[in-house]
Chain A
C-alpha cells in the first residue's frame, strides 16, 4: 500500500487532480455547471505546462465528444468531462465512441436535464445514457470520484474491454463539496495507469485502417452482439482493476458497496452521495437494534445483477432510491428499480417486498429523517405483509 497525501478538495477538483496525474494526450471539453471546475483546473495545468496534454477548447459538447473520437481513433489517450445538457448534446457521439470501441474516459458531474432548466443534482443525465454502450461508475464522495477516474482509465484501455467509461459523481453535493481527499503520489499513478498502446491508430500511417465503415444488414447485428458481449463479460476484468487499486491505495473498491448486509432485514439500495446519508441513518437504527443495511452499487454498467440479488434477497423489505424517473415506465419508476426488479425475476426471486422511492430531482435535498421514514415504511410493509404503492416519493410536496 502507498500512503496518500490528504488535501481539502471539492469533487470536481479531485477529478482534475486525477486527470493531471494521468496526463492524457488529449482533452477536449466545453464548460457546463457543475462540471466547469474540472475543465478550468485542467486548462490551468495546460497553461502552466504541468501536463503534456493537447487541450481542445471546442465550441460544443457534441464537438467535444467528436474531437475525443478523432483523438482516440488517432491512437491518443483521451479524457473529457460534462454534465446534463452537455451530455445530452453528446448523445449521438456517445454511441459512436462506444461502437468504435474507443477507450475514452468521461467525467459526468450529474445534473438534472432541462426542461425546466435546473443546474442541480440528479441522475437523469447519466441514466439516459445507460444504454449507450459506456461503462458507468458512480461515486459517493470526492475521494471515490478521484479513485474512480484513475481506475476508469485502466478499465477503458484494457485490451479485452476497449470501451469508454463514464465516471459519475453528484453535482454540487460532491462536485462542489470540499472534503478530505487522499491523492496518491504522481509516480504511483503513472505506473498504475501505464502507457496506452492502441491496437489500431489512424496516425499509424504505414498500416492504414478504416474507422466507422458503413455496416449493412449483413454485419451490423453481429457487431452489436460483439459490443454487448464485451461489456457484459467485462465484470471480472473490472474487479481485477478494482482489487489492484484497493491494494495500491488501501481504500476498498468493491463493485457493490455493502454495509451490514449479512443479517439485514431492511435495506436501501442507492447510488452515489445518498449512500453516505443512508449509511449514517442506518448506523443510528442499528444502534437501536433495527437490522438495517445499505447497498450502494459503484458499478452500474455492466449491471452487477447477481451481486445485488445476492445481497438483498434475504431481506424482509427493500427500498430502491432512484434519483431519476424513467418516464412512462410502470408507475413512473426509476431506472435502478427497473434493473433490480428485472434482476430479481431473472434469478427466480419474485416474492421479495421491494419498493421504489424517487428522490432528489433537480437537487432537492435528501434529509436523514426521510431516510429514517423509508426504513419505517419497510418495517411496516414487512409487518403487514402488504407492499402498498410500488413507487413513492421522498421530499416531494404533493
Chain B
C-alpha cells in the first residue's frame, strides 16, 4: 500500500492529534510543532522511538504521557537501533502469524542534533546499512538543549553555547557544522531530505515520501530553540524562513540519489539577516569579528553552489 503524497489541509484539520497538548516543551520550541506535522502526515499506525533530549523528557513526565501512539525511549544514542529492533519484531511476528499479514505499521525514530550528529551517529549509520524500513528524523536545534545549550556537531560556526562560549580570545564555536544530511545521503538509502516547519507543505510531503520509500529514510529538520538561540518565542516560523531565504538551511531532498532543491529564494538574503536576529550570534557583529561573518557568508555561498551543481548533475 502506498500512501498519497499530496497534503490535504482538510485531512490535517480532521485528523486526531497524536501528540496531546499539556506537554512541557517551551513556548516557541520547534519540536512539538514539527512532531505534530509529522504525525499528521503519517497515515495509519506508527511506533515511535525517541532519543533522550528535550522532546523525550518534556512529553513523558511519569505518570503522564503526551503520546497517543506506542512510544519508547531507551537511551540517548540509540533511537535508530531501538526502532530497528521494533521493526525486526514486526517482521518476525508477522511471519509467525501473531500480527495479521495485512496489518501495516510504520516505524519512526527521532533524535535531537546531539543524538544524531554526535553520540548516535554510528547507531543511525548501522540501522541505515541494515536497510530497516524506518524513518529517522533529526530535530535539529543546533545544540544540546536539554542539558543546557552545549555545542554539538550541528552547532554552526560562531555560535555562543555553554561549551563554546564567547570569551576574550575565542569567539564562540570555531568549527563548521558537520554535513549530516549529505553523509546520510551518502549511505545510498532511498530518501534523505532537509526541511523546516515554516514550509509545512514541503515538510509534510517529505514525511510522506520518506515513509513511502522502499527502505530507510532520513529527515533533517531545523527546529528553533528560543532559549538556546536567544530569540523570541513567537519568531519560530520567521526564523526558519530566514534560514531558507539566506540558503543557510536549504530545503532539498535526495530521492534515490537524485538531488532536488525544493526551494530557491527569488532573492538570496545575506546570511547576516539570519545571524543578527539571534542572540547566540550577537558577538559576531563586533567589528573585530567581521572576518568571521565574511567567512560564514563565503562558506554558505559555496555550499549553496555545490547543492545547485548536484541538482543540475541529476
Interface residues of A (CB under 8 A from B): 25-26, 28, 52-54, 56-60, 62-63, 66-76, 78, 92-93, 96, 100, 201-205, 208-216, 219
Contact = CB atoms under 8 A, between A and B. Distances in A.
Nearest to A219: B62
Contact of B72 (A76, A92, A212): A212
Given A203-B105, A212-B73, A54 B89 contact: yes
Contact of B74 (A70, A205, A214): A70
A247 B187 CA distance: 53
B65 interface: yes
B89 A210 contact: no
B254 to A, nearest CB: 23
Contact of B90 (A53, A72, A74, A216): A74
A219 B60 contact: no
Given A63-B78, A74-B47, A213-B61, A203 B126 contact: no
Q: Which 6 A/B pairs are nearest by Cβ-Cβ distance?
A: A70-B85, A59-B126, A74-B89, A67-B85, A76-B89, A205-B45
Given A25-B89, A93-B75, A214 B56 contact: yes
Contact of A56 (B56, B58, B84, B96): B84
Contacts of B92: 25-26, 52-54, 71, 76
A67 B91 contact: no
Contacts of B68: 208
B88 A67 contact: yes
Given A56-B84, A57-B130, A93-B74, A203 B89 contact: yes
Given A63-B123, A205-B70, A71 B62 contact: no
Interface string B60-99: 1111010111111111011001111111111111011011
Contacts of A73: 72, 74, 82, 85-86
Interface of B: 45-47, 49, 56-58, 60-63, 65, 67-75, 77-78, 81-93, 95-96, 98-99, 105, 122-123, 125-126, 129-130
Given A66-B78, A70-B86, A71-B88, A208 B60 contact: no
A54 B62 contact: no
Nearest to A220: B62
A25 B85 contact: no
29 contacts: A28-B88, A52-B96, A54-B89, A54-B91, A59-B125, A62-B123, A66-B75, A66-B123, A67-B82, A67-B84, A67-B85, A70-B83, A70-B88, A74-B93, A76-B92, A78-B85, A201-B70, A203-B86, A203-B89, A203-B105, A208-B68, A208-B69, A210-B72, A211-B71, A211-B74, A212-B72, A212-B74, A213-B60, A213-B62
B85 A69 contact: yes
Contacts, number: 165
B85 A56 contact: yes
B90 A214 contact: no
Contacts of B56: 214
Contact of B86 (A52, A93, A202): A202
A213 B73 contact: yes
A210 B60 contact: yes
A54 B88 contact: yes
A216 B62 contact: yes
B88 A203 contact: no
B69 A205 contact: yes
A203 B130 contact: no
B122 A60 contact: yes
A205 B47 contact: yes
Contact of B70 (A92, A208, A219): A208
B65 A70 contact: no
Contacts of B57: 214
B72 A70 contact: yes
B305 to A, nearest CB: 35
Contacts of B90: 74, 203
A126 B62 CA distance: 32
A78 B92 CA distance: 11
Contacts of A71: 85-86, 88-89, 92
A58 B81 contact: yes
A144 to B, nearest CB: 29
Given A75-B93, A203-B47, A26 B85 contact: yes
